[in-house]
Amino acid sequence: MKTYGIICEYNPFHNGHIYQIEETRKQGATHIVAIMSGNYVQRGDVAMMDKFARAKTAVSNGVDLVIELPVVYSLASANFFARAGVMMLGALGCVDGISFGSECGDIELLKNAAMASINASKPEKIKPLVEQGMSFPQAVQQAIALEYGPIIASVFDSPNNTLAVEYLKAIKLLNLEFETYTVKRKGAEHDSPDSSEGIASASLIRSMIEDGEDISPYVPKETAELAKEYEEKELLAYFDNLERELLYVLRSMIPPAIAECPDVDPGLANFIFRAGIDAKSLDEFLDIVGTKRYTLAKIRRVLLNLYIGTKASDLMIMPPYGRILAFNEKGSEILKAAKEKAEDNKLAIPFDTSLKDIIELKRPPISRFADISNRATNLYGLASRTIRPCAEDFTAKIEIQK
């Protein structure tokens, strides 16, 4: 048994994901576990289709076990997103390696970039650059360019490279002995409007779904069927559908409360407060606040965190449990191996298909995170034209494939 982990969003699951799984199998992986964002994704958006359906599609196409990355981390900056995902793989205690995509496809270059990022991210090097108006990622890249040269710095020009670096940093920070394998991105680039070799970016596929175009050349049949079903039932979720809800949140909060949100300092809190008063639409608000210093993805994450009620203090806690969304027979073997190793694993956390059973453990961090998950899922139900029922975290059917 050789288990590899993949940290993912599958928004939606497409042929590029199948390619990564196949390439990971070629490295000797007999079992694959995915740590997947739930109903909200790291680019600051709602997932087009809900987490239970996406997890089912993944298990139908090569993944053996899907565990939800809690929303606290799926709506966080790349370092928290990556660290939480890696920690959850470590918490299983039976994962041998991690597989991730990258634009460069060069694991040694990524490792060198990870070390450069650790060394260049010291406050005394970053603060002067941020004060010049750079965003934090831009400041880190500039510091790396100055100290390590343009080749290492260029790694951070591409989003999958950047996430890969964060995974490698997290592995080192958590002192995990994972094998690391990177799959060079095949076909279209991240967020590319083009397609190649039967592979299109998730953003292009989402645009095609929204426009009613045929996505079947780029996705497995389960994704195509799901998109069609959700379109017919008006269950596809969109950020813009939350316009009135998000404007309500902005108009009902004061700067000190906004400043409790992850990744928000007092200056940004005041900026958001004033923009929230002035803006008469969501687009107008984003136009006001989105600047070179504050990226659009960051502001959208902030909005969704304010909507859900996530606090910066929540990010100081590592994932207290793992919610299982789908698995097959090999997935049950992973869970059995994890249970056997739990006693000797310092990162061990409870894993369960039932949020109710997790809550009944009655541990404070678990209760807080379960409440956030339930609220986030309930509020996600307002992002589609057909309003979804409450309590789906407790009532949705978990996919178990034999």
Q: What's the rounded mean pLDDT across residues 103-118?
A: 93
127-140 pLDDT tens trace: 788 778 787 778 88
| pTM over 0.85, yes/no | yes
Contact yes or no for 184/23 (Cβ under 8 A)? no
233-281 pLDDT tens trace: 999 999 999 999 999 999 999 999 999 999 999 999 999 999 999 999 9
Contact yes or no for 28/35 (Cβ under 8 A)? no
Whether 191 shows a pLDDT value over 90: the answer reads no
Whether 125 shows a pLDDT value over 80: the answer reads no
**Per-residue model confidence (pLDDT) at position 250:** 96
52-108 pLDDT tens trace: 999 999 999 999 999 999 999 999 999 999 999 999 999 999 999 999 999 999 999
Q: Where are the domains of the chain?
A: 3-103+180-234+319-400, 106-157, 239-310
74-83 pLDDT tens trace: 999 999 999 9
Q: Which CATH topology does 3-103+180-234+319-400 take?
A: Rossmann fold (3.40.50)
Place of tokens 């997932």: 47
CA distance 347 to 368: 19
Which residues, other chains included, contact 341 with Cβ-Cβ below 8 Å and sequence gap of 6+? Answer: 92, 93, 94, 348
